[in-house]
Amino acid sequence: MNDKAKLIAIYFPQLHEIPENNEWWGKGFTDWVNVKAAKQQYDGHYQPRVPLNNNYYDQSQLETLRWQINLAKEHGVYGFCHYHYWFDGKQLLEKPTNLFLENKDLQMRFCLSWANETWSKRWDGQDHHILIKQSHPPSKERWKLHFDYLIKAWTDDRAIKVDNKPVFIIYRPHRIPEIDHMLNYWRELAIKNGLPGLYFIAQKQYEFPNRSCLNEFDAVFEFQPFVSQHRPPESQHRPPESVNHSLYRKSRYKLMRVLPEFMQDIPRTSKSFVLNIPRTSKSFVLKLIRALPEFMQDILRSSKSFVLNSLSKEQLSYYDYEKIWSDIVKVRNLDEMTTYPGAYVDWDNTARYKDRATIYKDANPERFEYWLGELIKSMPSRDIPEPYIFLNAWNEWAECAYLEPDHKYEYKYLEAMKKVLTKNEDS
C-alpha cells in the first residue's frame, strides 16, 4: 500500500438555515446560535468558541464552500466526508452537498456518511421529544429511491474510492433491517450503472451490539474520540476511566436495575426505583448511564425516557486528551475487519449540552501536532488498502471538533496538520 497518509475530514452541513430548524428551534436557527450562546463552565474553560474575524459563515452560499475547500487543500486535507441526512426520501441539511455536486469546479475529493439517526430535542434534555423519526423500510422500492440520489455522488469523478469503488459510510448499520440485502442490492445497481462495485464502511463509535450487521461491509473506521473512550479496558470488568471505581462497584446494581430486560436479564425495570434513588446517588447513576455506549443510552432514551428526565442533577464529564490519543495511535490489527484509524482535533459539546457537557481537557495545537504525527508514523504498520485517516472534524463548531481558524488559535491547528502531513510526504 501507499504509506502516505490521506486525511479525510468529516464535514458537517448544519451551518445554514432550513425551514425545519426554524420550526423546531426558532426563526434563523443554525448551530451558530448555540456556539455563540456557550458559556464557561469553570475557570479557564475555553468557551465560547469564536471563528476568526467573526466568520459565522452560511453554508448555503457557494463562496463559503469554495473558501472551505481552498483552505483545506492548502493545508493538506485529502477529502471531505459529508454527513448525509436521509429520512426515507426526505433530506435535511442537503444544500451544501448538493451545491458541491452541482459545481464540478470545486476540486475536492469527497464521500458521504449516512447519519441514520432519529432527531430529538436531546440538547434540551427532551430525548423523548421526536423531531423527525428515522425509519428504514426493508423495501427495494425505498432502497431504489435512496440509490437514485446516491448514484450522483458515486459516479462523480471526485468520489473517494478504494479499489476503484466509491466509498459510502453508514453511521448506525445495526438499526437497518435487512441491511445485507440492501447493500447487495445497491452493489447490483451500481454495477448496472457502470461502476465496478461499492465500498461500504461502517462508522464505529462503540462496539456494535450485533456484529452480524457488518457482514456485507468492507471495512469500519474508528470514529474518535469515542471508540477509544468506550474501548473495553484490559479487564472486561473495569469501569470506564471517567467513573470512580469504588463508587462503580457500590452503585452498579442501580444501573442494572434501569437497563432494559434483554440487556441484563433483569426481570423488570422500575420507575419508582429510579425516582427513589437518593439525590446523592442520582448524579452518579446518571454518570454511569452517560458512560455507556450510545446504543445503550439510545435504548434508555426510547424505552424509559423517565430515567434521564428524573435525574435532574447532571454534571460535566471529563476525559483526558492525552490518554485518548495514546489509545488511538496503537496498532492492533486484531479485528477481523479492515479498520481505518480515526483522529480528532478537540471535543467539547458545551454549546449543546451546557452543564451536561462532555469535555476532553488540555487540547491544543501543539499536542494535536504531536499525536497526529504519531498516528501517521503508525500508518505503514496498519493492514489497510488505502492510508485513510478519518478526522473528526473540519467544522463541527458546536462540539469544538474543528480545524477551521478561530479567534484564539487562528490557523495553528491547520498549520500543525500541514506540518506533519508535509513531513510524511517528504519522508
Place of cell 479567534: 407
pLDDT of residue 290: 55
Q: Give, as one character, the DSSP assignment of residue 355.
A: G
* Residue with the larger pLDDT of the pair 252 and 255: 255
Q: How far is CA 216 from CA 39, 201, 389, in A?
A: 44, 10, 22
**Regarding the domain delimited by 6-233+318-426, which CATH topology (the fold level of the hierarchy) does it fall under?**
TIM Barrel (3.20.20)
pLDDT band, very low/low/confident/very high, at 293 (cuts 50, 70, 90): low
pLDDT of residue 425: 72
pLDDT of residue 274: 40
- Give me the percent of the chain exceeding a pLDDT of 90: 73
Q: How far apart are CA 363 and CA 391, in angstroms?
A: 15
Nearest partner of 214 among 201, 227, 198, judged by Cα: 201
Q: What is the mean pLDDT of residues 177-182?
A: 98
Q: How far is CA 172 from CA 82, 114, 208, in A?
A: 16, 8, 9
* Residue with the larger pLDDT of the pair 229 and 298: 229
* DSSP conformation letters of 48-112: S--BGGG----TTSHHHHHHHHHHHHHTT--EEEEEEEEETTEEES-HHHHHHHH-TTS--EEEE
- Beta strand pairing status for 165-170 and 161-162? antiparallel
Q: What is the mean pLDDT of residues 182-192?
A: 98
Q: Residue 266 pLDDT > 60, yes or no?
A: no
Residue 239: is the preceding peptide bond cis (ω within 30°)?
A: no
Q: Return the C-alpha cell found at 414.
A: 491547520
pLDDT band, very low/low/confident/very high, at 306 (cuts 50, 70, 90): very low
Maximal CA-CA distance, the chain: 64
pLDDT of residue 273: 38
Beta-strand (E) ranges in 246-313?
A: none
Q: How far is CA 198 from CA 169, 173, 195, 250, in A?
A: 10, 16, 8, 49
pLDDT band, very low/low/confident/very high, at 289 (cuts 50, 70, 90): low
Q: Residue 312 pLDDT > 80, yes or no?
A: no
Q: Residue 161 pLDDT > 70, yes or no?
A: yes
pLDDT band, very low/low/confident/very high, at 286 (cuts 50, 70, 90): low
Residues carrying CATH 3.20.20.80, the chain: 6-233+318-426
pLDDT of residue 299: 54
* DSSP conformation letters of 142-157: HHHHHHHHHHHHHTST
- Give me the percent of the chain exceeding a pLDDT of 70: 78
Q: pLDDT tens across 131-158, in order?
A: 999 999 999 999 999 999 999 999 999 9
Question: Which residues 6+ apart lie within 8 Å of 324 measured at CB?
Answer: 224, 225, 228, 229, 344, 360
Q: Residue 301 pLDDT > 80, yes or no?
A: no
